[in-house]
Structures are given as C-alpha cells and as structure tokens.
Structure 1
Amino acid sequence: MNITRENIDELNAVVKVEIAKEDYNPKVEKVLKDYRKTANIPGFRKGHVPMSLVKKQYGKAVLVDEVNKLLQESLNKYLTEEKLDVLGNPLPKEQENFDWDQENYAFEFELGLAPKFEVSLQAKDAITHYQIVADDAMIDNQLKTIQKQYGKLVAKQEAEEGDMFTGTFKNEAEGIENSATFSTEAIKGKRNLSKFVGAKVGDTLTLKTKSLFENEHDLMQHLKVEHDKAHDLDVEVTFEISEINKQELAELDQELFDKLFGKDNVKSVTELKERIKADAEKQFEQQSDQQLLNDVTEALIENTKFELPQAFLEKWIRFNGENELSEEQAKEEYEKSEKGIRFQLIEGKLIQDNSLQVTFDEIKDFTKDRIKAQMAQFGQLNPEDKELDDIAARVLGNQEEVRKLSEQLMNQKILDFYKEKANLTPKKVTYENFVKEVYQ
C-alpha cells in the first residue's frame, strides 16, 4: 500500500491511496472461506460448497467491502500519523470508468485543511464586562413583593386605590363571561381607575376593553380571549363586583425572617435587604457571564483573521447531509455556518494552546457540587461524603450526562480564562440599564 499527498495550497490537498492485491487478498480469502463453511446453496451440503461457486456468488461483494474497510482504516491512520488538522471529512474524487475487476486500485480524496493563525485576547477596543448591581429601588420592590406574598387579604365593602377586585366580565355578543381577580394597580388611566375607586360589592361597572389594563395581555387572562383578538379588542363589557379585598402587608419581623431563611439566619431589615441584594446579584451574574461570552466570541471572530477552504466546505456541506443539496443551497448553508466554523477553530486553538483540559476528577467534583446545591434547596445542608459519592457515581454512569457536565465545566473554564486574560473594562450597572444597553 502506498499513500501520498499533494498540497494544492495551504488550505487544500489531495491524498492518493494505492492498494495492491497483496494488501486486501488475505482478508478477502478468509471471509470467503468463512462463507463457505456456512453457505446454504441448494444441491450442496453445508461446508462442502465449491470455493469457485462461493467466489462467483459472493466474491465481488466481499472484495468491495474489504477494500473499502482497508481504505478507510488506512486513510484515518494516515491523517492521524501525519497530524493533519482537517475540516469536515475527506471527500472522494470521482473516477470515470473505475474497474473492480482489476487487481490494484487507486483512490483520491480531497482534504480541507485547517488554517494556521494566532489568537489574541488583547483586542484594541476593550470589551465591557457588566457587573449588574441591585439598586435600592429594586431591593425595595422585592421587599414589597415579599410583604404582599406573606401578607393577608381583608374583605371590604367599598373600594380604595390599591385594593383587589374579584368579579365577572361579560359581553354576550362577544361570548365573554369570565371570572377574574386583579388589583387597581393593573388598571390603566385615571378615567378607568375612577370607576373602581368608591365602587361597592354587588356593583356592576361598564368598561371599554381598549386601554383598560396597563398590560394588554391581561385581557387574554381576565376576559379569556385569544392573543390576536386581545390586541385589537375594542368593545364594551360589564364587570360585576363579587369581592373587594385590601391586601395587608406582612410585618417585617423575626417570624417573617425565619420563614424566608430559617431560624435566626436573618435578624433585621438591614440584613434582609443585604440578603435580597446578594441573591439578586448572584442571579444577575449568570446574565452578565453570558453576555461576556457573547461579546468575547464576537470580538474574537472579528479580530482573528484567516482564510477557510470555502469551495471544499461548500462541497462537503452539499454531499454530507441527509439529503444532497444543490450548489446554491450548499453556498447558503455555508454562509449561515461560517461564523460558527470560525469560532470552533478559534476556541479549539485557545483550549489547546492554554491546556484548558477537563479531567474526570474535575467532572466528579463539579457533579458533587451540583448535587450539594440541589440538596440544599430541600434543606439537606450537610450531606455525608458517601451519600454524595454514591449519587455522583450513578450520575456519571450515564455517558450522556458525563458529556453534558464536561461541556458545562469546559464552558466555565473558558469563561474564567476570558475574565483573566481578555482586555475587559468592568462596568457596574443596574439591571434596568443593563437591559437598555444590551437589548435595546
């Protein structure tokens, strides 16, 4: 067997694999002998079929199969030994008038080679690393939400601003009849609000659906109408009041603190606000990290310049999907995936150059930390090591779970690496300002 390579340019090459009869014939003969032992051909006892007949019936199929196996094994071994970093898979070149009746064969494959390039995380323009903080307004709102959640409702006969209403919306022509509960805080506009303030249990209010609620989607819930209809609904409805309740806020006392965080873990309103702030900012950190990953990814793609074997990749996309694509379809698919291909190469080089590997022990520790966090949510704060090891062993016995955990851990390593090495400018922002800057 002889394998040679011709480099067309830095990104494209052709590999030629020459296979002689002596390379494949021993395997072909062995398979045919095994066939002879088990072949069931009328007129012959099993194991006594003439070899000439076995070859005539099975020889060509066995030959093709064994040559293809040898070809694939040899090509893979060659790529590994030569340390060729290829994109996609080798593409066989078409050969006109190929003849399986000859004894020696030659096959050619097109290769798309990964480009050589350098990656720098020290971009000229620094990347903003958002640090989202919970401001006083957010903390006070969360505090009020907690007080409402743990407060109580007190029945009333006459309504004031801020009260809760329960009643039935009706419009016979539109087929509307639905019971709903909402606060005056959901009502939009002073004119609508004035109809509710001073109303009494048993009263029936006549209302316009257009601009009735601050959030138009409330119409879907309170009137039970479809999404598209709710946006354009402009009809008159009646609302018969069956209940009016005042929501009394829970006292900010030790009883409430213990309900929220366990006995004596929080002992004052100041400590409660600090806990709310810490919990909120921990959740915000996930969004900040994701945005940092997005921004660093975009910067790396933008600033790391290299060519790709586009013609090869378009051809590979065309012939390696479930269905063969046209040239135009393959070109479109390449354009959609080009950025992803570029980043895979960039990220792979960063991982290789900086030895960002994941070991099994790291995956095991990562898994145990996840398990401890989940157990803590159910009040199990100090699980025994043996219990953790047993649960982790069951989790890691599933290869799909190992793959997912490995990816998560690698993503965390890459994120930590970016935070340490990339050209970042920290910026503290409220969540509201973060949303404005990033999404608007």
Structure 2
Amino acid sequence: MNITKESIDALNAVVKIEISEADYQEKVTEILKDYSKKASVPGFRKGHVPFGMIKKQYGKSVMIDEVNKLIQDSLNNFLTEEKLDILGNPLPKMQDDFSWEEKDYSFEFELGLAPTFDVNLDTKKKITEYTIVADDALINKEVENLQQRFGKMSAKDVIEEGVNITGVFVNEEKEIEKKYSFILDDVKGKTNQKKFLGSKVGDVLELKSKGLFSDEHKLMGATGLGHDEVHGLEIPLTFTVEDITFTELADLDQELFDKIFGKDIVTSVTELKEKIKEDAEKQFQSQADQQLLNSITEYLIENTKFDLPAEFLKKWLAVAGENPLSEEQASEEFEKSEKGLRYQLIEGSIIKDNKLQVTFEELKEYAKGFIKSQMAQYGNLDPAEEELENIANRVLGNQDEAKRLQEQLMSGKLLEFYKEKLTFKSKEVTYEDFVKEVYK
C-alpha cells in the first residue's frame, strides 16, 4: 500500500491511497474461512461447507468491506502521522471508471487544511467593558416586588389602579395563544390603560402590540415570541380577562426579612437594600462578562485575517448532514457558519499557544459550585460535601453535560486571559442604560 499527499495550495490538498491485492487478501481469506466453519447451508454439515462456495457467495462483499476499513484506517493514521490539521472531513473524489472487479485500487481524497495565522491582541480600538450598577430606582422597585410577592392577595371584580391581571393574548396569524400575568402599571400610556380599566373577568379587549408595554420583555412574555421578533412588532391582539387580583403589600419587618433571607441575616430596610444591590450586581456581572466576551469575539474575528478553503467547505457541507444540500443551500450554510468557524480557529490557536487547559479536578469543583447554586434556589443552602461529590460524579458521568460544563469553564478561563492581555474602555451604567446600549 502506498499513500501520498499532493498540495494544491496552502489550504487544499489531495491524498492518494494505492491498495494492492496483497494488502487485503490475507484478511479476506481469514474471514471467509471463519464463515465456512459457521455457515449453515442445506446439503452440508455445519462447518463442512466448501470454501469455494463461501468465496463465491460472500467473497466480493467481504473484500469491499475490508478494503473500505483499510482505506479509513490508513487515511486516519496518515493524517495523524503527518500532523495535518484539517477542516471538515476528507472527501472522496469520484472515479468514473472505477470497478470492484479489479484487484488493485486507487482512491483519492480531497482535504481542506486549517490556515496558519497569528492572533494580534494589541487592540487598536478599545473594547467597552461595562460595569452595571443597581441604582436606587431598581433597588426600590425590587423592594416593592418582594412586598408584592409576600403580600396578601384578594380577588377584585373589575380592573382598577394597582391590580394584577391574568388573561390570554391571541393573534391567529402569528399563532399566538399565550396566558400571561402582569400589573396594570406594566401597560404603557394612559390610552392603553383606559382599555383595561373597568373591565371584568370574561371581557375581551382589542389591543395593538406596538407600544403596549413599557418594557418589550413584557411583550415577549405576553406573546411567547423571541427578542428579535417583538422588536418593532405591529400586530392586533385580543386579550381575554381571566383573573383580577389585588395584592396588599407585605410590611417591611423582621418577619418578612426572615422569610426571604433566613433568620436574622437581614435586620433592617437599609440592610435589605444593600443585599438587593449586592445580589443584583452579581447577576449583572455575568451579563456584563458575556457582553464583553461577545465584543472580544467580534473584534478578534474582524481583526484576525486569514483565508479558508471555502470551496472545499461548501462541498463538505453539501454532504455532511443527514440530508444532502444543493450547491446554493451549501453556500448559504457556509455563509451562516463562517464567523463561528473563524472564531473556533482563533480560540483554538489562543488556547494552544497559551497552554490554557481544564483539569478534571477544576471541572469537578466547577460542577460542585454549579450544583450548590442550584440547590440553594430550592432552600438547601449548606449541602454536605459527600452529597455534592456524589451528584458531581453523576453529572460528569454524562458526556454531554460534562462537555457543556467544560466549555463553560474554558469560556471563563478565556475571559480571564482576555482581561489580562487586552485593554478596555471602562464604562459604568445602570442596567436600563446597559440594555439600551447593548440591545439597541
């Protein structure tokens, strides 16, 4: 057997595999002899079927299987030994005159090679790093939300100021039929609020989606549509009132503080607001970090220049999935996935060059922290170490879950690396301003 590589250019190559009868015949004969020992053929005792009969019946299919196995193993070994960094998978070149009736065969495979490039971390244009602060308006709103959540609820006959409203939003064209609860104050503007005021259970209101809620995230909840879909959405909606309630706000006393945080952890309104601010800003930090990582990703893609074996990748995409794609569909798929592929290569280069890695112990500790935070949401604030260890082992025993956690942990390591190596423009904003700037 002979394997050679011909370079077409820096990003494309062809591997040629030449196989002679001597490379596969011994294995084929061995398999056919084993068949003859086990085959059950009428007129012959088991194990005494003539080898010639077995060869005539099964010889070609066994030979084809063995040649294909030999090709795959040889190609994989060649790629490993030659340290070829390929994109996608090798693509076999079609041969019009190929025939399995021959004894010697020649196969060719097209390769798309990963480009070589340098990642420049000297940012000419500084990336904005946001620090999101919880302002007084947000903190006071959260205090009121807590009072509402733990307040005493009573039914109301009609919609009036300060009530909670539950009902079903419908739009047939968009196939919307969504039950949603909100307060009257969520509705934007006096004109819209007047449509609700005085309504009773069972009433059907005619509304418009545009400008219905002060916060577009509320419209997402009311329609079940995604963020991009509700942006600028202008459709008619009907709303059927199902429930009207009023919540008497809970007193800001020690009983309420203990219900929310545990006994004597918070002992005053001042401490309550400090705790709300601390918890909110922890959550905001993860959002700010994700936004920073997104901005860095975009910067690196735009400022790290290299070519890709585009035509090869389009051909590979056409046959890689369960259903073949047309040339046009494969081209569209390449355009959609190109940015992701570019960042994947950039990220891989950064990880390799800077020896970033995730050890199993780090992964287990990360899994424990993730599990502990989930348990805390259900009131278990101090789980035993043995319990955490057992759950973490079960979680990491699931390959998909282990991979997901490993990717999250590596993403965190990359962000730490970027924060050390890149320079940023710092900007302190409220959460409201952050949303306006980032998701405008």
TM range (shorter): 0.7 to 0.9
* Contact kept in structure 1, 2:192 and 2:212, CA below 8 Å: no
Deviates more, 1:2-11 or 1:181-190: 181-190
Counterpart CA distance in 1 for 2:182 and 2:5 is 76
Residue 325 of structure 2: SS of its match in structure 1?
Answer: coil
Deviates more, 1:401-410 or 1:87-96: 401-410
Residue 292 of structure 1: SS of its match in structure 2?
Answer: helix
Residue 47 of structure 2: SS of its match in structure 1?
Answer: coil
Percent of aligned pairs with the same amino acid? 56
Alignment correspondent of 1:73: 73
Deviates more, 1:335-344 or 1:29-38: 335-344
Cα deviation per residue 1:287-345 (whole Å; 9 max; x = unaligned)? 21221121111111100100111111111112222222222222222222211211111
One-letter code aligned to 1:315:
K
Give the TM-score taking structure 1 as reference length.
0.82
Cα deviation per residue 1:181-207 (whole Å; 9 max; x = unaligned)? 9657858528976997xx9xx99xx99
Alignment correspondent of 1:428: 428
Residue 404 of structure 2: SS of its match in structure 1?
Answer: helix
Alignment correspondent of 1:142: 142
Counterpart CA distance in 2 for 1:87 and 1:195 is 58
Alignment correspondent of 1:328: 328
Counterpart CA distance in 1 for 2:54 and 2:196 is 96
- 1:230 to 1:344, Cα distance in 2 relative to 1, 3 A: closer
Is residue 128 from structure 1 mapped to residue 125 from structure 2 by the alignment? no
Shift of 1:435: 1.1
Alignment correspondent of 2:358: 358
One-letter code aligned to 1:430:
T
Alignment correspondent of 1:111: 111
Alignment correspondent of 2:236: 231
Shift of 1:351: 1.4
Shift of 1:428: 0.9
Alignment correspondent of 1:318: 318
Shift of 1:408: 1.9
One-letter code aligned to 1:386:
E
Counterpart CA distance in 1 for 2:126 and 2:419 is 12
One-letter code aligned to 1:100:
W
Shift of 1:388: 2.0
Shift of 1:348: 1.2
* Contact kept in structure 1, 2:10 and 2:113, CA below 8 Å: yes
One-letter code aligned to 1:258:
D
Is residue 259 from structure 1 mapped to residue 256 from structure 2 by the alignment? no
Shift of 1:155: 9.8
Counterpart CA distance in 2 for 1:326 and 1:185 is 48
* Contact kept in structure 1, 2:195 and 2:205, CA below 8 Å: no
Alignment correspondent of 1:215: 212
Shift of 1:104: 2.1
Counterpart CA distance in 1 for 2:125 and 2:74 is 48
Cα deviation per residue 1:5-31 (whole Å; 9 max; x = unaligned)? 111111111111111222211111101
Counterpart CA distance in 2 for 1:215 and 1:318 is 45
Counterpart CA distance in 1 for 2:332 and 2:368 is 44
Is residue 250 from structure 1 mapped to residue 266 from structure 2 by the alignment? no
1:23-102 superposed matches below 5 A:
23-102=23-102
- 1:47 to 1:288, Cα distance in 2 relative to 1, 3 A: same
Residue 305 of structure 2: SS of its match in structure 1?
Answer: coil
Counterpart CA distance in 2 for 1:154 and 1:324 is 60
1:261-276 superposed matches below 5 A:
261-276=261-276
Aligned Cα root-mean-square deviation (Å): 3.9
1:378-393 superposed matches below 5 A:
378-393=378-393
Counterpart CA distance in 2 for 1:48 and 1:62 is 20
Residue 9 of structure 2: SS of its match in structure 1?
Answer: coil
How many aligned positions are there?
411
Cα deviation per residue 1:396-430 (whole Å; 9 max; x = unaligned)? 22223222222222222222222222232221111
Deviates more, 1:319-328 or 1:6-15: 319-328
1:276-315 superposed matches below 5 A:
276-315=276-315
Q: Which runs of 5+ in 2 are unaligned?
A: 168-180, 223-229
Deviates more, 1:412-421 or 1:273-282: 412-421
Alignment correspondent of 1:173: none
* Contact kept in structure 2, 1:162 and 1:185, CA below 8 Å: no
One-letter code aligned to 1:99:
S
Counterpart CA distance in 2 for 1:336 and 1:19 is 39
Counterpart CA distance in 2 for 1:280 and 1:120 is 35
Alignment correspondent of 2:170: none
* Contact kept in structure 1, 2:196 and 2:205, CA below 8 Å: no
Residue 8 of structure 1: SS of its match in structure 2?
Answer: strand
* Contact kept in structure 1, 2:204 and 2:238, CA below 8 Å: no
* Contact kept in structure 2, 1:121 and 1:423, CA below 8 Å: no
One-letter code aligned to 1:19:
I
